[in-house]
Amino acid sequence: MSGNANWPAIAIFAAFVALTLAITAWAARRTKTRADFYAAGGSVSGFRNGLAIAGDYMSAASFLGISSQIFGVGYDGLIYSIGFLVGWPLILFLMAERLRNLGKYTFADVASFRFAQAPVRSFAAVSTLAVVLFYLIAQMVGAGQLITTLFGLNYLSAVIIVGTLMTLYVLFGGMIATTWVQIIKAVLLLGCATTMAFAVLLQFGFSPEALFARAVEVKTQLAASTGLAADAAATKGHAIMGPGTFLTDPVSAISFGMALMFGTAGLPHILMRFFTVPNAKQARTSVLWATGWIGYFYILTFIIGFGAIVLVSNNPAWVDASGALRSNNMAAIHLAQAIGGNLFLGFVSAVAFATILAVVAGLTLSGASAVSHDLYATVIKKGRANAAEELRVSRITVVALALLAIALGVAFQKVNVAFMVSLAFALAASGNFPVLILSLFWKGCTTRGVVAGGTVGVLLALVLTILSKSIWVDILGSAKAIFPFMSPTIFSMPAAFLTIWLVSRFDNSPRAAVDREGYLHQRIRAETGIGAAGASHH
Amino acid sequence: MAEQEDRAARYDEVLADPRYQKLVQRRGRFTWTLSIIMLVAYFGYIALVAFDKSLLARPIGGDVTSLGIPVGVGLILLAILLTGLYVRRANRDYDPLVDALRRGDKE
């Protein structure tokens, strides 16, 4: 399929682009103030924000990556899905309402609430940009690969199209356009995944057991066809029903689990969505909807992956003799063609592309806000920037981030997308998450503690990742990894907590006294919303 | 400045209000309980993945379906259930308290 234009996909995608650009033009007329640009005026309802969060969070990496992983090795894909979901209850119980009550536009508003503004916001902005850039690279590379395969475009033009569209959405439509792009994408993706899972289950009389049994049969036949003895082939076939080689040593398994769960609660583009609702009650409602949609989506992905084992494995156009996919990550796409022919293939391809656009728009807006609202307005201008200047800086940053994302997308063309995503989660779990939790819940926390601990967490996560196999061996070509585990989080996250605690504990500066004294009032506002920024009305 | 002083006075009032103490205690106890349930369930599952993969791979009864499937899907449903429980409790019990505090009603 590679190299040939896929006309149904291109037509459906063009329709999506036309619709989203029309929404952007409409949103641009309503985007007048900073509150509109960063937070859609705080006027998004809980239900709509829940869908937008789902659209912001369910990336093409999860849809295509997890279903392809299940296609390849079975059960392991479910471990990923669960990790991506279980952070959400924690966000609800510990953070969502407090974020809404304390902050206005960025999570740094909350992290720096009672602390010295410049140092804490500088840390938050840098750590936001780090998370956003790694996540953005993953999405750009994924987009490039996907579009090359699906639409027959070359990699560079694919990356440029994504970069241009996300710039248009964010630059002119700000958070209002971004929200609607995410909502439309969530509805399309959920609709697609539901149709595919329904079609798969229909073939098996809605019996998951029948689906699993057939998948094991297919995998057993594949193993036997490579020359394995019957019982060895059966063992290999049954291996898809349990955890496999994905997390071999216990330390990596726990570390990886921590990165996914706590990283979710530290992703700046996700935390930012809680400032788009009018109050804490709507923030709460939005997490319930988001958790429901995302959980439902991951269950569908599991069915789709197993459906692909049954319906895609036997087609020599898509897989080689050993049953491995010819084009990486495309199991769900081939399944779409097996189920609904070229038209449905086109539809699913277009939705996968739309999925990437919605995620990169959210990431870009979050990165731009960190630069304009945290670095420029607070650190550089010391709170004396006017709103128009701040918005201008934000828009310049959007363009700069888009150019950077295109350049990095080209430079990192060969990088493993899943690895980049897990790195972004590890950084968020080791920096933003400990900083937010301790600033919200520990009175003794001080400016110096937060800055020192957050920095230690982020740097340690980065250094350990560089020393691990993925970079030290696979990219830098050394013989053996210095850091032997798959994920740094089991070390870097506790290191951040410990550093914040130690430094705060022995911080006797005059500022520390102010920091601690601010806790009581911060807590009242976090719990009740008294004094919180309200929704702006048009 | 006057606005800030007003707000500080308002916060001191809330702090002295027994309903605020009640709200913070109740909600704190409930949210930390739910958080711990989620943490234990998830890291219990991860511990099984880490230390006893064969248990999750064991077929249920005479079927192909392994124990890991209902456990995994159960975790996803648990996450949704816990968020639902919190939202229901917050809407029913905490919001009236918060509203009363915000309006500054006398008891």
- Asked whether residue A428 is assigned to any structural domain, the reply reads no
pLDDT tens digit sequence for A2-11: 445 678 778 8
Predicted TM-score (pTM) of the model is 0.94
A contacts of B64 (beta carbons < 8 Å): 209, 212-213, 216, 238, 241
Q: Looking at the complex, does the CB of residue B45 fall below 8 Å from at least one CB of chain A?
A: yes
Q: Looking at the complex, does the CB of residue B69 fall below 8 Å from at least one CB of chain A?
A: yes
A contacts of B40 (beta carbons < 8 Å): none
Question: Percent of chain A, pLDDT > 90?
Answer: 71
The reply to whether residue A85 touches residue B53, judged by beta carbons under 8 angstroms, is no
**Interfacial A residues in 240-259 facing B (CB < 8 Å):** 241-244, 247, 249-250, 253-254, 257
Average pLDDT, rounded, for chain B: 91
Q: Which of B23, B79, B87 shows the shortest C-beta gap to A86?
A: B79
**A67 backbone dihedrals φ, ψ, rounded to 5°:** -65, -35
**Interfacial A residues in 200-219 facing B (CB < 8 Å):** 208-209, 212-213, 216
* A109 token code pair: 């508003």
Question: Percent of chain A, pLDDT > 70?
Answer: 98
Domain boundaries along the sequence of chain B: 2-103
- How many angstroms from the chain centroid is the CA of residue B32? 6
Between CA A351 and CA A331 the distance in angstroms is 15
What is the model's pLDDT at position A418? 77
Q: List the domain range (segments joined by +) for residue A320.
A: 7-414
The reply to whether residue B102 touches residue A528, judged by beta carbons under 8 angstroms, is yes
- Asked whether residue A370 is assigned to any structural domain, the reply reads yes
Report which DSSP code applies to A193: H
**Chains A–B, number of C-beta pairs less than 8 Å apart:** 159
Q: How far is A41 from chain B (nearest CA, A)?
A: 22
Q: Which of A82, A254, A291 shows the shortest C-beta gap to B72?
A: A82
pLDDT tens digit sequence for A508-518: 999 999 999 99
In this structure, what CATH number is given to the domain that contains residue A63? 1.20.1730.10
Q: Looking at the complex, does the CB of residue A517 fall below 8 Å from at least one CB of chain B?
A: no
pLDDT tens digit sequence for A9-53: 788 888 989 999 999 999 999 999 999 999 999 999 999 999 999
- Asked whether residue A127 is assigned to any structural domain, the reply reads yes
- Asked whether residue A133 is assigned to any structural domain, the reply reads yes
Those residues with Cβ within 8 angstroms of residue B93's Cβ, 6 or more apart along the chain or in another chain: B26
Q: What ipTM was estimated for this complex?
A: 0.94
For residue A314, pLDDT beyond 60:
yes
Which of B100, B12, B72 has its CA nearest to residue A242? B72
By the 8 A CB rule, do A332 and A196 touch?
yes
Between CA A219 and CA A110 the distance in angstroms is 51
- Asked whether residue A138 is assigned to any structural domain, the reply reads yes
B contacts of A86 (beta carbons < 8 Å): 38, 42, 75, 79
pLDDT tens digit sequence for A347-360: 888 888 888 899 99
Instruction: State the Cα angle at A66 between A137 and A467, rounded to 5°.
Output: 50
Q: How far is B50 from chain A (nearest CA, A)?
A: 4
Q: Looking at the complex, does the CB of residue B88 fall below 8 Å from at least one CB of chain A?
A: no
Q: Which of A88, A521, A529 shows the shortest C-beta gap to B102?
A: A529
Q: Looking at the complex, does the CB of residue A27 fall below 8 Å from at least one CB of chain B?
A: no
Q: What's the pLDDT band for A492 if we cut at 50, 70, 90?
A: very high
**A228 backbone dihedrals φ, ψ, rounded to 5°:** -75, 150
Cβ burial A277-296 (10 Å sphere, 16+ → b, else e): bbbbbbbbbbbbbbbbbbbb
* Count of domains forming chain A: 1
The reply to whether residue A241 touches residue B47, judged by beta carbons under 8 angstroms, is no
For residue A211, pLDDT beyond 70:
yes
pLDDT tens digit sequence for A165-202: 999 999 999 999 999 999 999 999 999 999 999 999 99
